């Protein structure tokens, strides 16, 4: 049973939303797109990314890989480099894997059913519903943060949106509200409404066409909905990057381990429990000893701390700029020695990009 739901309220909601959308939709390059590959590309890019930030990435991916087969045939490092700066790199890895699956297992034909789309790597219920409704007009309602917000406010629902029961309830309500004769248009309308009218911090209730029946507005609950049951605790990790220079080259490595930023490149890393307070905290450590052994090194500079916020983690990174002697050998085969002017060929996490930028010239980092 969905609270505060009746046929009149549904009809008013659905029709008002579609009417609003006729004059308020935001023209974006993927709007009205029927090619499932391009819709998928835009949806993956826009997961956890603002439209303004994602737009240039969509354009450059579309140009470089106009078909799913073209994306499948690209080297992984190239795809990661194209994705650089967008964050949440597992999206790029999964997208690339799914493109290969479509190309090699499905004969290059994008799946045409909700279940087929949902089975692709990296595609959740929201993305599958978006692709199915936009490309094939299939009746699947999208449910994301925008939809939770609009529905919880309009129907005055205080059920937490981050519990299993709450998610099921909102999914049922979203599906019940869907205009099955035009699911693509309806889905686009509710997404746009949440993104530009019923926004998280400053909803435009004064000019809202749903206001007369909006329970959150009536009860003065706009700012307390939607409800979340738990606040996320963000753990901080402390990274000490060793920027080891040797005769105009620098050592980097590919992140292979099952951890954040897999398949991106970074510098040799010593992770600590907290930021070192003095240089000896690190240079006197066993890990440092294992890295340099008896070879000569000179610590040229320690950077200021750089910060990167992730969904579940905060990263604090220091960059230890070190001149290594000619006899220095990397302790791990996986390290790559690259010319400093070749660093821009590799995809690095954002926190390293911040460090490069502070140096002004990424190609000459010393
Ligand atoms: S009245 Fe305010 S809270 Fe209610 S739907 Fe409109 S913008 Fe959202």
Residue pLDDT, tens place only, 195-219: 999 999 889 999 999 999 999 999 9
Element (DSSP H or E) covering residue 48: none
Among the listed ranges 103-117, 120-134, 223-237, 282-296, which one has the minimum average pLDDT value?
A: 223-237
Sequence spans of domains, the chain? 7-224, 235-358
List Cβ neighbours of 85 (8 Å cut-off, separation of 6 or more).
350, 353
340 burial via Cβ count (<10 Å: 0-12, 13-18, 19+): middle
Phi, psi of 14 (to 5 degrees): -65, -45
C-beta of residue 316 within 8 angstroms of C-beta of residue 238: yes
What would the mean pLDDT of 42-69 be, rounded to a whole number? 93
Closest residue CA from atom 4 of ligand 1: 214
43 is catalytic: yes
Is it the case that residue 343 has pLDDT exceeding 80? yes
pLDDT level of residue 336 (50, 70, 90 thresholds)? very high
Q: According to the CATH classification, is domain 7-224 in 1.10.340.30?
A: yes
Residue 213 CA to ligand 1 centre (angstroms)? 9
Mean pLDDT of the chain: 91
| Rounded Cα–Cα distance for residues 312 and 208 (Å) | 34
Mutate to test the pocket of ligand 1, among 9, 12, 150 (most ligand atoms within 8 A of CB): 150
Check residue 360 and give its pLDDT. 47
| Rounded Cα–Cα distance for residues 301 and 320 (Å) | 6
Query: In the structure, which protein residues have their CB atom closer than 6 angstroms to any atom of ligand 1?
Result: 153-154, 197-198, 203-205, 208, 210-211, 214, 216-217, 222
The better pLDDT of the pair 187, 286 is held by 187
Helix (H, G, I), strand (E, B) or coil at 252: strand
Residue 222 CA to ligand 1 centre (angstroms)? 7
Check residue 259 and give its pLDDT. 87
Helix (H, G, I), strand (E, B) or coil at 272: strand
pLDDT level of residue 362 (50, 70, 90 thresholds)? very low
Tens of pLDDT, residue by residue over 264-296, are 999 999 999 999 988 999 999 989 998 998 888
Pairing state between β 269-272 and 336-339 = unpaired
| Rounded Cα–Cα distance for residues 107 and 113 (Å) | 16
Is it the case that residue 365 has pLDDT exceeding 60? no
Check residue 2 and give its pLDDT. 66
Topology of domain 235-358 in CATH is Nucleoside Triphosphate Pyrophosphohydrolase (3.90.79)
Cα–Cα nearest to 305, from 364, 355, 347, 266: 355
The better pLDDT of the pair 25, 225 is held by 225
| Rounded Cα–Cα distance for residues 201 and 187 (Å) | 22
Element (DSSP H or E) covering residue 144: none
pLDDT level of residue 72 (50, 70, 90 thresholds)? very high
50 burial via Cβ count (<10 Å: 0-12, 13-18, 19+): exposed
What pTM was computed for the model?
A: 0.75
Cα–Cα nearest to 142, from 80, 188, 101, 103: 188
Q: What is the 8-class DSSP label of residue 111?
A: P
| Rounded Cα–Cα distance for residues 257 and 213 (Å) | 52
- Which one from 33, 43, 158, 323 is the annotated catalytic residue? 43
């Amino acid at each position: 049973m969905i609270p505060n739901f009746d046929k009149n309220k549904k009809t008013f909601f659905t029709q008002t939303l579609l009417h609003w959308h006729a004059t308020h939709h935001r023209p974006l390059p993927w709007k009205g797109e029927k090619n499932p590959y391009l819709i998928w590309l835009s949806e993956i890019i826009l997961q956890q990314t603002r439209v303004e930030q994602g737009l240039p990435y969509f354009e450059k991916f579309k140009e470089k890989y106009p078909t799913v087969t073209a994306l499948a045939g690209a080297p992984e490092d190239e795809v990661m480099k194209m994705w650089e700066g967008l964050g949440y790199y597992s999206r790029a890895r999964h997208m690339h894997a799914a493109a290969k699956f479509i190309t090699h297992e499905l004969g290059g034909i994008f799946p045409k059913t909700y279940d087929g789309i949902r089975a692709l790597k990296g595609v959740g219920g929201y993305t599958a519903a978006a692709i199915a409704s936009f490309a094939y007009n299939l009746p699947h309602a999208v449910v994301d943060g925008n939809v939770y917000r609009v529905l919880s406010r309009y129907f005055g629902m205080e059920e937490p949106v981050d519990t299993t029961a709450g998610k099921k309830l909102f999914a049922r309500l979203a599906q019940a509200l869907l205009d099955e004769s035009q699911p693509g248009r309806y889905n686009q309308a509710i997404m746009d409404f949440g993104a530009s009218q019923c926004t998280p911090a400053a909803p435009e209730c004064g000019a809202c066409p749903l206001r007369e029946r909006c329970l959150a507005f009536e009860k003065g609950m706009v700012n307390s909905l939607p409800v979340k049951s738990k606040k996320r605790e963000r753990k901080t990790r402390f990274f000490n990057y060793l920027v080891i220079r040797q005769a105009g080259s620098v050592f980097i490595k590919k992140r292979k381990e099952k951890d954040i930023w897999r398949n991106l490149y970074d510098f040799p890393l010593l992770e600590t429990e907290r930021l070192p307070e003095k240089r000896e905290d690190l240079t006197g450590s066993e890990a440092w000893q294992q890295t340099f052994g008896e070879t000569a090194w000179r610590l040229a500079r320690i950077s200021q701390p750089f910060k990167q916020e992730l969904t579940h983690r905060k990263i604090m990174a220091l960059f230890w700029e070190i001149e290594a002697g000619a006899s220095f050998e990397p302790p791990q085969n996986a390290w790559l020695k690259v010319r400093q002017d070749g660093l821009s060929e590799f995809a690095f996490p954002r926190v390293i990009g911040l460090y490069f930028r502070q140096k002004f010239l990424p190609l000459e980092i010393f």
